[in-house]
Chains A and B, each alone.
Chain A
């Protein structure tokens, strides 16, 4: 750690990991409710567990992105953070808002929460992933603006690197597109159309800029490859991301009342969306192969390579699987979507978060470069357990999805939704078992922060 103010990132990373645990626990509850429908009913209905599962994910990823920015922006800009106190203050506001919101989900009925937070004044609640009370959304805007101001001022007064500029661009886009969450017309088609401007333009647009910038930063650090080379790759990857991804939004406009030409625009452009992810894989492996130093943090390098591979598989391959409109006609809104969602989010955004945490945390905790071997070994075990589990979760959900599509939509006598769900229960059980192994991986991950801390760092063979 070169600059004192980078240490504020530690708070963000710790909170991110805590919320990650909450996300997984509620995921396991939901998974069980899929096969034991009355589990925890009516205390924690499925929709409540799902809100906690998805909202905790979103918030912890945002926490990790902010932590990443507070860590890497000063280092790239070669100057202290503009206002470290503001970063600390915003952390507590964000954490408090997130905590209060989750408490609201769990302790109140959703409609009471809507009344309590005066949703009727500016109704924004009750839409997928945007379930947060309007006041929480306003809080997110305040936190995001203060954060952008802090990061922006730091970049302005320091060295302007490509990594910093791309990161800032991604984070600005994140804040700007979030504003569409306040637009909620009665017209369902318009509602859905602009809802995707938050959801799609986040995860298949500006978030990929953030992902690319963090990956580039870590690769510069662990491989020692010339910055010029890495920055060129970064530009070309994010160019392909936005060139394919913006019009690729069209793959959500097939069946929601929008004109049918979107089936062409959406199919053609989103079929190209795997390209930037494939380039990212080639990029990461190339840089590691051409490394000019042996960085002692093997775990961080593993996470970086893992991100590149799993983002390609989850977002690229599993996305392509159902993105062409003639295929999507049958798969839209089934477990196929869920399968893709799980591996894409894990591969792209969970893994890049764990990459930067893996790289930065040892330094934030006062070590020279890396955790001791014992700790890294445990962390790498957790990498494999979580990653293999998510692959199996995805495969089981894909199996469930294929059967669901056939029985409910394709077979000669299509069957009702619940009749089909009863027949594919085996896949949901297998998914739940894979989820439990994921939890074991997560426990090992957390344990890796506490083992061998008094042992020396692995030697650097430079």
Chain B
């Protein structure tokens, strides 16, 4: 048995198997790229709010929101999921803006609190529009509850 299975065979399985499955992965990626336009809400990015949403994503990244929150379940688990926060806030852009704007500067004694970022109204709109855009991505029914 030990003789029947040689190092050369093991090596060939490694190179052959890796190459085959990497190519399969590329093929699936190609197919996914074709299907994404009907799922990823890119219409919003190409629409009248496109620039605002792009600005919102820049702010999202520039303030490291992912360092506390999850977005579609990815990120940190310290603060609520935001992929569906637009829906949780009753489909309200103003609700989201009001929440972010009203965070206390020095936090809340003994509790977790979101920092006060001093965003302008325009920035708040951009962030809220970005979160609205994300909430309209087809996520196969995730999350299981509106609580995220």
Chain A residues in contact with chain B, CB under 8 A?
A: 30, 33-34, 36-38, 41-42, 45-48, 50-51, 110-111, 114, 119-120, 123, 125-128, 131, 162, 184, 186-190, 192-193, 228, 231-232, 235-236, 238-239, 242-243, 246-247, 249-250, 252-260, 262-263, 265, 329-330, 332-335, 337-338, 408-410, 414-418, 420-421
- Whether A256 touches B74, Cβ cut-off 8 Å, given contacts A190-B40, A409-B144, is yes
Contact B7 A260 (CB under 8 A): no
- Whether A41 touches B107, Cβ cut-off 8 Å, given contacts A111-B63, A247-B25, is yes
Report Cα–Cα, A36/B107, bound state, in Å. 12
Contacting residues, chain A, for B78 (C-beta < 8 A): 30, 33-34, 46-47, 50
Chain B residues in contact with chain A, CB under 8 A?
A: 5-7, 10-11, 13-14, 17-18, 21-22, 24-25, 28-29, 31-32, 35-36, 39-42, 45, 53-54, 57-58, 60-68, 70-81, 105-113, 115, 117, 133-134, 137-148
Contacting residues, chain B, for A332 (C-beta < 8 A): 73, 142-143
Contact B80 A416 (CB under 8 A): yes
Contact B73 A417 (CB under 8 A): no
12 interchain pairs, CB-CB under 8 A: A30-B78, A36-B110, A37-B112, A41-B115, A46-B67, A125-B64, A126-B65, A189-B39, A255-B142, A263-B140, A329-B142, A418-B112
- Whether A416 touches B107, Cβ cut-off 8 Å, given contacts A246-B21, A257-B39, A265-B28, is no
Contacting residues, chain A, for B77 (C-beta < 8 A): 333-335, 337-338
Contact A110 B62 (CB under 8 A): yes
Contact A416 B147 (CB under 8 A): yes
Report Cα–Cα, A243/B42, bound state, in Å. 33
Contact B134 A131 (CB under 8 A): no
Contact B134 A188 (CB under 8 A): yes
One of A48, A119, A257 near B72 (C-beta < 8 A): A257
- Whether A193 touches B32, Cβ cut-off 8 Å, given contacts A42-B115, A247-B25, is yes
Contact B67 A51 (CB under 8 A): yes
Chain A residue, CB-CB nearest to B109: A38
Given contacts A37-B107, A189-B137, 10 further A-B contacts (CB under 8 A): A51-B67, A127-B66, A186-B53, A190-B36, A242-B14, A246-B18, A255-B139, A262-B28, A262-B32, A414-B144
